[in-house]
Amino acid sequence: MKHDNSNPDAKLYGMVIDLDKCTGCGACMVACFMENNVPFKVNETDKLDSITWMRMFELHNGKDFPHADSCWLPRPCMHCAGKDGHGHYTPCVMVCPAIATDYTPETGVVSQIPTRCFGCRYCMAACPYKARYFNWWDPKWPEGMKNYLNPDISVRMRGVVEKCSFCYHRYQRAMNKAFMEGRKTLKEDEYQTACTQACPAGAITFGDLDNPKHKVHELKKSKKAFRLLERLKTEPKVYYMTTRDWVRRAADRVQEEESRSAGRGH
């Protein structure tokens, strides 16, 4: 991942999720639903066409009691920088035929433009993290719930793709405020995603990966930090941390083996 050198004000927003802290409570998912007007179905038993910008995967170590252990892995969009590190090869961005999804060099956020999307779903085929969701159904909310919709986020229609935006509207709001105050940069706590703020265990840390003043800058360098499918060179901007070897293996067997044979954590 590379910083946009042509723009000194460019940020590289990313996330570090401590899997050892995550309890799998799902507060991040709920917060995401509420913040981003994510639609849901009347019957959510079939998860294959459910929309979950933040999805929880449950991992098991495969052992019986008393050695049994499990881990919850929250998976937002990875906002991949792609194999060139500049977003030109972000898997979903490079395939979208109508430029309905784009990489923002100023922030490193992969955007989605629902009104531009015509629903070909090529981006979904390209995403190895399954972080993109298609609106198979018309969005419907129970009586009265429309009053709780976030006015900063447009509701998506049937037939288009959507995904986690790192709560980009919050970034825009924070930048507007900063601009009015004559600033070009944001403080760390001025722009935080809904899931980060909702996590009761403090498992999610969000910020500018390139900014030494932001916690994520140090956390991503931790020996216990890793990224999913790093070997595919998708350059995801979501890092995970764990001290448990089996979680590393379960999250990415190949990478864990490679790291071990190289004699380093990460």
Instruction: Kindly list the residues in this chain that would bind other proteins in the complex (CB under 8 A).
Output: 46, 48-50, 57, 59, 73, 83, 88-89, 91, 94-100, 116-122, 124-130, 132-138, 157-161, 228-229, 231-234, 250-255
Pairing, β 238-241 against β 13-18: parallel
Which CB sits closer to other proteins, 85 or 119?
119
Q: How far apart are CA 191 and CA 13, in angstroms?
A: 10
Which CB sits closer to other proteins, 128 or 265?
128
Shortest Å distance, C-beta 12 to other proteins: 20
Shortest Å distance, C-beta 206 to other proteins: 22
Which CB sits closer to other proteins, 100 or 219?
100
Which CB sits closer to other proteins, 112 or 192?
112
Shortest Å distance, C-beta 107 to other proteins: 20
Question: Is the separation of the CB atoms in 203 and 18 below 8 Å?
Answer: yes
Shortest Å distance, C-beta 150 to other proteins: 23
Shortest Å distance, C-beta 93 to other proteins: 8
Q: How far is CA 189 from CA 14, 70, 80, 137, 194, in A?
A: 14, 31, 23, 36, 12
Contacts of residue 227, defined as CB under 8 A and 6 or more positions apart, other chains included, come to 78, 236, 238, 239, 240
Which CB sits closer to other proteins, 46 or 143?
46
Shortest CA distance to 204 belongs to which of 75, 58, 34, 51? 75
Q: How far apart are CA 25 and CA 247, in angstroms?
A: 18
Cis peptide before 66 (omega within 30 of 0): yes
Shortest Å distance, C-beta 125 to other proteins: 5
Which CB sits closer to other proteins, 100 or 186?
100
Q: How far is CA 46 from CA 40, 49, 51, 138, in A?
A: 11, 7, 11, 16
Shortest Å distance, C-beta 175 to other proteins: 26
Which CB sits closer to other proteins, 167 or 250?
250
Question: Is the separation of the CB atoms in 10 and 106 below 8 Å?
Answer: yes
